[in-house]
Structure 1
Amino acid sequence: MLAPDHEENVILRRFGLSQARLIGEGGEARVFALDENRVLRIARPGASMDSLRQRQGLAAEIAKSAHHLPFATPHIETVEEVEGRAVAVERRLAGVPLAHLFETIEGRQREAVLTSYLDASAAIQTIIPDRPYVGELGGGHPVRADSYQQYLGKKLEAIRAEAPETFFAALGPDIVDALPDCDAPALVHFDMFAGNVLIADGRVSAVLDFGETTLIADPALESWSVVAYLDPQISPNARPADRALAMAWLERRGLAAAYPAARRFIAAAWTHAHDDPAVMAWCRSILIEGR
């Protein structure tokens, strides 16, 4: 992880910190430890305050419905603009990112943690925001429809509009036609990769970053996506044995047969991530190279 840049240092000083420990980063933001109980999320340049406020509202809504879950969800205390950057103060959640633990844990402990991760993906669907549509909950131009099949068709149009030209031939109607229908859509995080999941005491302690990818869709999409995100380009420290365990987990739930089609749709949905080389390599491997 890179040290804070000039703007980030100015923002950190505004919050009374001459220096701060960077504890996480992704395509949308970098996260610094503010104190024992809070973190400071500094959005990447160009991120809008509206997006951050949407995230704050969604986090509050999800928290109201998530008390039954064995893991925590985000709580955003404040949002503001500092030095032209969108900044949020959030409650600090306990645990270590699963992506980091993949480097060290072994044996039965590894299997237990991975199973907890997979089980958490199935639990997300029990958080039910009240929405009269299927599709994205936020974002600048959310794709929404009255039914899941209608959503898939509109989503494919949006994917093709944003994807690099090299993907066009791979983004035909079969991307969505091959997916099963769903008559009971539910909440799907859709960005629940190992970096957005915290582990404490051998199990999932928190799921982070509900945001622009979060939607109402087939709840199985969550489970298919977390298995897909164990691919080497997304989770380089995950092992073939981890992927085998995940596939067996899908098999036990009757979700394995549709996984190849779902994985292609998931990769198609991420072709907009032009500035993330790892994600682009992953999309190419699935959609163009057929791996």
Structure 2
Amino acid sequence: MSIQDDAPLLAVMGHFGLSEDALLGIGGEACVFALGKDRIARVHHPGTARGAVDLRARLLEDLRRSASAVPFSIPSVLEITERHGRFITIEPRLPGRPLLRVLAEVTGAERDDLVTRFLEASTRLCALRLDHEGYGDLCEAEPIRASSHRAYLERRARKSLASAGDAFAGVDPSRLAAALPEPARPSFVHMDLFPGNVLVEDQEVSAVVDFGGPSALADARLEPLSAVAYLTPFITPTATDRDRRLAREWLQAQHLDALLAPAERWLAARWSFARDDVRLHQWCREVLLERTEHG
């Protein structure tokens, strides 16, 4: 549905005096508009429950306690309101432009440097601390929680695959989980760290955004592994073969390259429910089905 076909969204925009020129982006959970230079309005999609909005706000509030441990900005919620049947969060506008867009404009050494900065940022998010025990979802209305990482991975994959229907009926969640190691301790994992959710300014990562639904307490290694996995044209249309080679070389230097394939398979299972996102669903099929058939 386009903005012009969404009457409640147009009414919200009218309430705040917004035009389509103020649109900063559309994600899986919300449309984001600039409210001047200092604030944004995050208009949640139809069907979003107030509980989900509150869970995200509480997560961000908890993460703010350790936000100084990361060298970039993270979101916070200033206000939650409702207009025309839509929940809206008013938040500070964070500095920078989406790396996804910047990658469409730069080449050569400048591009390589930005990709490297993005990958390095993926190793810093685990410095954000939460006072929770065990492993599990952080923003789900009915969260999966487990005392071991593999138990969480299996249950999370099983839930997503069940929602995906028959397309992935032959995928075994227990095998996906068993292929990944058990970490020493749980860490905060954004789980949706791709170039569209990273802002850059002056060749540095200035902010990470879109914390929410996928975030979990999990193995910290999943963050850099997912960042590399998401550098595929299915998820990051501006990614190139050169970007992917650089990312894999970087991952090898982190001694994580052996975990990439099993991490990709689990991530594809985790996102398999998202049938309405055509490109993401194609990636899930490619990872879980086509590679298996040809490999």
TM-score above 0.5, yes or no: yes
Alignment of 1:37-186 (within 5 A): 37-186=38-187
- 1: CA distance between counterparts of 2:19 and 2:233? 37
Whether the 8 Å CA contact 2:158–2:173 is kept in 1: the answer is no
Structure-1 residue corresponding to 2:268? 267
Q: Percent identity?
A: 37
- 1:142-163 per-residue CA deviation (whole Å, 9 max, x = no partner) reads 1111121221232233233212
CA drift at 1:212: 1.3
Tell me, which stretches of 5 or more residues in structure 2 are unaligned? none
- 1:64-96 per-residue CA deviation (whole Å, 9 max, x = no partner) reads 211121100001111122111111111101111
Give the 3-state SS of the residue equivalent to 1:23 in structure 2. Answer: strand
CA drift at 1:18: 6.2
CA drift at 1:19: 6.2
CA drift at 1:181: 1.5
- 2: CA distance between counterparts of 1:88 and 1:17? 15
Give the 3-state SS of the residue equivalent to 1:216 in structure 2. Answer: strand
State the Cα RMSD in Å. Answer: 1.6
Whether the 8 Å CA contact 2:44–2:86 is kept in 1: the answer is yes
Tell me, which stretches of 5 or more residues in structure 1 are unaligned? none
Whether the 8 Å CA contact 1:66–1:127 is kept in 2: the answer is yes
Amino acid at match of 2:274: A
CA drift at 1:63: 1.7
Whether the 8 Å CA contact 1:49–1:80 is kept in 2: the answer is no
Aligned residues: 291
CA drift at 1:2: 4.6
CA drift at 1:59: 1.1
- Segment of structure 1 superposing worse, 237-246 or 20-29: 20-29
Whether the 8 Å CA contact 1:49–1:81 is kept in 2: the answer is no
Amino acid at match of 1:75: S
Structure-2 residue corresponding to 1:248? 249
- 2: CA distance between counterparts of 1:149 and 1:176? 5
- 2: CA distance between counterparts of 1:236 and 1:98? 12
Structure-2 residue corresponding to 1:218? 219
- 1: CA distance between counterparts of 2:192 and 2:20? 30
Higher helix share: 2
- Segment of structure 1 superposing worse, 12-21 or 120-129: 12-21
CA drift at 1:3: 4.2
TM (norm. structure 2) is 0.94
Whether the 8 Å CA contact 2:130–2:188 is kept in 1: the answer is yes
- 2: CA distance between counterparts of 1:122 and 1:77? 28
- 1:111-161 per-residue CA deviation (whole Å, 9 max, x = no partner) reads 111111001100001111110121111212211111212212322332332
Amino acid at match of 2:25: G
TM (norm. structure 1) is 0.96
Amino acid at match of 1:159: S
CA drift at 1:238: 0.5
